Structure formats: structure tokens, C-alpha cells
Amino acid sequence: TGKARTAYVCGECGAEYSKWQGQCGECSAWNSLSQVVLEPASGPGPATPAARRGGWAGKVDPPKVTALKDVSQAAEVRVSTGIGELDRVLGGGLVEGAVVLVGGDPGIGKSTLLLQAVAKMAAQLPALYVTGEESLAQVAGRAVRLDLPLDNLQALAETGVESILHHAAEAKPRLIVADSVQTLWTETLTAAPGSVSQVRESAARLVRYAKETGTAVFLVGHVTKEGGIAGPRVLEHMVDAVLYFEGESGSRFRVLRAFKNRFGAVNELGVFAMGEKGLKEVPNPSAIFLSGSSRQPGSCVMVTREGTRPLLVEVQALVDSSPLSNPRRVAVGLEQNRLAMLLAVLHRHGGVAVGDQDVFVNVVGGIRVQETAADLPVLLAVLSSLRDQPLPDKTIAFGEVGLSGEIRPVPNGEERLREAATHGFRRAIVPKANAPRSGTKYKDLEVIAVERLADALEHA
Ligand code: TYD
Ligand code: MG
């Protein structure tokens, strides 16, 4: 057994220091360090769920050194959450002993989603919903309003981690939802609940419990203005998966995205619609990100591929002469630096100058597009706004734009074209290498294959 150590942790990036300092050496944030108490270095450390077979059944083997060739390669044990879109984002269901952090703005629907999931899962395995934000009466009221089955669902209104773990040890749930990490606190620290050290240490205890018992844990976390969960980005390193729940205010659609996932891909999207009866899955979300105004100047529809599904998404641009000596470039749902780069390529290789213009680009529906296939649609939308001319009716585009003005292919071109054709689009401006071999037809879709940015602009 060792003595409890203290350390200083940066609330912005999670870097750890043995001494206090005014500025974080990792992320350069000022005054972001706070003291945390580290556990004494004794007792069993965390083990991977895979090393602890039988976790869902509650039986746990002690860890031991093993020749890798003797390890059985059984896939992780997964259970369905009963919500297909959530399973998809998790990589095919919830893995035993996995700790999943679900982050998002207050009011986005985190509690609703997890209450729906835990109520469905409770039919298969003992589950415990721990709330630190609402009373049990509020939770029960919501569950009834959502027509959720209540028979097997255990709930606990508690914020003290020691008490939560005590109850868990007795009730032996195989799944715990803790809503939210910001309300949790542990007796071992004197810091206030919600402080970096409390959130970190409380979450660490739940993680340790999950790994020791094979219990799956969902942690709910509110996102701060800076975008990190609860300030302490530390949580992101401690958990197996981080899911963000996003949506535009005013829109009923919600997108769940894996930001980190030890058990699956990180680019899968889950799509939901918030309604009277809570969150409904949108298993076929292709067309919901179209604003219906794609005949306006400054709009271009692209086919993006997030995870395993193609999605039709509208990109909007507004180009306006700038009063500033340093005109603005604002990208919402896209990477800011990429926009600046694309505008430079547009000038150098497309002969279109926007140096004295403000450029705003927005992806409709509050989703974030991370792939380079958005390059060409972004530039077509910018050009359309600059010229104040809509693109030809029923046109889609996708393609990466290189620094020398070449249009590069993107993965799964055929699937994207098929999706566009299915939704009645007539023209597709796409990289040459993504164009179908002669003879292949996609309904009434005319495919315009382009090699250079200048060609693409001409066709638009
Ligand atoms: P909630 O799950 O409490 O959000 P979070 O836990 O992320 O803070 O969701 C709250 C919002 O969702 C609230 O503004 C009302 C809305 N809502 C519905 O529209 N329909 C419903 O059936 C429910 C339960 C909530
Ligand atoms: Mg909530």
C-alpha cells in the first residue's frame, strides 16, 4: 500500500504535473491547473473487459500473465441497447465493462436518450439509473410520459460516489447510468462538486468499478462553452468511448457521433428526432439535411459518407464585400483552416478572388462534415453566392480539392452516386476517378467528371 499522492491537472487538456505552475506546458492555457488527489498505488488496477470474461454474468477472473497465443479470441461480449442508432454509434452494441461518456449541450436530450436506452436494456439485464440532476419523481414522470417499461428499472437519486458504489455493490446492476458527472463528488476530496478534481476523481472511481466488475457505465457530461466536457478533458482519456450529442437549436433532429471509441469506428453517426414521445430513431436520414432551398444562390448539395451510410447534406455559403481590412472566414460544421486553404486554391487555380470578401460557410442541420469530399461542394457554394446565381437545378457534387487545383477521388463514389440518383438528382459534378465506367447508369443522373477545379467551375 502506498500513500495518497497529489498532482496538478490541467482542466483544459488533462496534462498532469507534480508541481503547480501558472501556465500549462502542453496546451498553454493560463491558470488551468488544479490539485487532484491520486489513488494510492495499491490494489488491482483496471483491467480490460476482454480479460474479464463473464462480465455480463457478474463473474470476474483475476488478471494473470498469459501467452498471447493462448488467449481465446472470443469477440467482446456486446448487448444491444434496444436503440439501433445508439448501437450503431457504439460499434454494434454496448461492450461489457465499457465506460461511455455521452456529452452535449444542456437540453439537447442526453437524459432522454439514456433513460430510453436503460429502460429497454433493463428488460435483458439488471440496470441502475443514477440521477444527480432530477428527483426520482421527475424521472419516473418522464418515463411514464415516454411509455417506457418500468418493471425492471432501478433508480437512485444520489450524487456521492461512495454511496452510489455501495448501492451498486448490493443491487449488482450490469449497467449503470450516471447523470451527470458534474454532480458527482467523492468524500476523499474537499473540493466542491463540479470542480475539475471532483469530476475527475468521481469518474475515475466509476471507471475502476466498471473494470473490476465488468459493469457497463454510461456517464453523462454537459459540454462547456469551450467545447470540452466539463472543462476536464481528462475524462476523455479515462473512458472507452466518448459520444457527442449535437443538434441545431430550433431543429428537432439530433446527431450522435463517436469522438473516441475503443470498440468501434469513430465516424458512425446516429440520427434521432426529438418529439412528443422522446427521441425517435431516424434510420434513413439521407434527406433530412437538405433545407429545401437548394435552388438559392450560395447553396450546393453534397453526398457525404459518414460511417457506413451516404448522406445528402446541403452546404451554404454567403460571400459579401467586407468592410474589414482582414475579411472574415467563418466555417460552421467544417474545418476553418480547410476553408481558408480552399479559398486560396479557388483564387490561384480557379481565377476567382474573394480576398476582399467576407466568406461564411454553413452545413445545414447542425452536423459536422469531416471528410475532404466536402471541398468541391464548398467552393461551388462560394462561387454561386459570389455570382449570385444558383447552381443548375438538382445538382450534387463531391470531391477533394488538391493544392494544385486537381480534383481528387474520394472513397465509395458509386455508392454516393446511387444515393443521389435515388433522391431524384439529375447532375453530379464529381472527380474523374469516381465517375462510373461507360455503360453504368444511375437512373437519370448525368455524371460530369472533372479533373481540374477550373473544369468544375465551368460546369457549375
Ligand atoms: P433532456 O434529455 O433533459 O436534455 P439533457 O439531459 O441533455 O439536458 O432533454 C430536454 C429537452 O428535450 C427539453 O427541452 C424538452 C425536450 N423533450 C421533448 O421535446 N420531448 C420529450 O419527450 C422529452 C422527454 C424531452
Ligand atoms: Mg439531463
Domain ranges of the chain: 1-41, 80-281, 299-459
Question: Residue 448 annotated as binding?
Answer: no
**What integer pLDDT is reported at residue 47 of this predicted model?**
45
Average pLDDT over every residue of 414-425: 91
The CB of 144 under 6 Å from ligand 1? The reply is no
Residue 330: which residues within 8 A CB-CB, separation 6 or more? Answer: 336, 358, 359, 360, 361
> How far, in Å, is the centroid of ligand 2 from the Cα of 133?
7
pLDDT tens for 313-367 read 999 999 999 999 999 999 999 999 999 999 999 999 999 999 999 999 999 877 7
Atom of ligand 1 nearest to the CA of 104: 7
Distance of CA 107 from the midpoint of ligand 1 (Å) = 6
Give the chain's mean pLDDT.
87
CA atoms 185, 49, 46, 33: torsion sign: negative
Compute, in angstroms, the gap from residue 200 CA to the centroid of ligand 2: 19
**Residue 9: pLDDT above 60?**
yes
Residues 24, 40 contacting (CB under 8 angstroms): no
Please write the tens of the pLDDT for every residue from 237-251.
899 999 989 887 778
Residue nearest to atom 2 of ligand 1 (CA): 109
- Determine which residue's CA is closest to atom 11 belonging to ligand 1: 107
Secondary-structure class of domain 80-281 per CATH? alpha beta
Average pLDDT over residues 289-316: 84
Task: Tell me the CA–centroid distance for residue 112 and ligand 1, in Å.
Answer: 6
175-179 sheet: strands from edge to edge: 153-157, 127-131, 175-179, 216-222, 99-104, 241-246, 253-261, 269-275, 278-281
Ligand-binding annotation for 109, yes or no, is: yes
Residue 108: CB within 6 Å of ligand 1? Answer: yes
Whether residue 303 contacts residue 312, with contact meaning beta carbons closer than 8 Å, is answered with yes
Question: ipTM more than 0.90?
Answer: yes
Is 106 marked within a binding site? yes
- Which residue puts its alpha carbon closest to atom 15 of ligand 1? 107
Q: CATH assignment of 299-459? A: 3.30.230.10
What percent of the chain lies above the pLDDT cut of 90? 60
Which pTM value belongs to this model?
A: 0.76
Residue 173 annotated in ligand binding: no
Nearest ligand to the CA atom of 180: 2
* 213 close to ligand 1 (CB < 6 Angstrom): no
Neighbours of ion ligand 2 (CB under 5 A): 111
What is the residue with the minimal CA distance to atom 13 of ligand 1?
Answer: 107
Query: What pLDDT is stored for residue 50 in this prediction?
Result: 43
Q: For 389-404, what is the mean pLDDT?
A: 95
CA of 36 to the centre of ligand 1 (A): 33
- Check the annotation: does 104 bind a ligand: yes
Question: Which ligand has the nearest atom to the CA of 114?
Answer: 1
What mean pLDDT do residues 178-202 have? 88
Taking the centre of ligand 1 as the mean of its atom positions, its distance from the CA of residue 250, in whole angstroms, is 13
User: Is 110 labeled as ligand-binding?
Assistant: yes
Bigger pLDDT: 448 vs 16 = 448
Task: Please tell me if the CB atom of residue 106 comes closer than 6 angstroms to any atom of ligand 1.
Answer: yes
Say how many Å lie between the CA of residue 101 and the centre of ligand 2: 13
* Cβ atoms of residues 401 and 375 within 8 Å: yes
Does the Cβ of 260 fall within 6 Å of ligand 1? no
148, 274, 276, 281: residue to mutate for ligand 1 pocket, most atoms within 8 A of CB: 274
Look at residue 440 in the predicted model and tell me its pLDDT.
79
The pLDDT of residue 368: 83
* 385 touches ligand 1 (CB under 6 Å): no
Residue with cell 468499478: 209
Ligand nearest to the CA of 134: 2
DSSP H helical segments within 37-149, as ranges? 84-90, 110-121, 136-145
How would DSSP label each residue in 332-347? ESS-HHHHHHHHHHHH
Q: Cα separation of 131 and 140, whole Å?
A: 11
| pLDDT per residue as tens digits for the range 117-166 | 999 999 999 999 999 999 999 999 999 999 998 888 899 999 999 999 99
- Least confident stretch, 84-98, 223-237, 403-417: 223-237
> Is the distance from the beta carbon of residue 254 to the nearest atom of ligand 1 less than 6 Å?
no
- 112 Cβ closer than 6 Å to some ligand 1 atom: yes
CA 300 – ligand 2 centroid, Å: 36
- Rounded distance from Cα 118 to ligand 2 centre (Å): 14
The single-letter code of the amino acid at 236 is: E
Which has the closest alpha carbon to 358: 384, 323, 332? 323
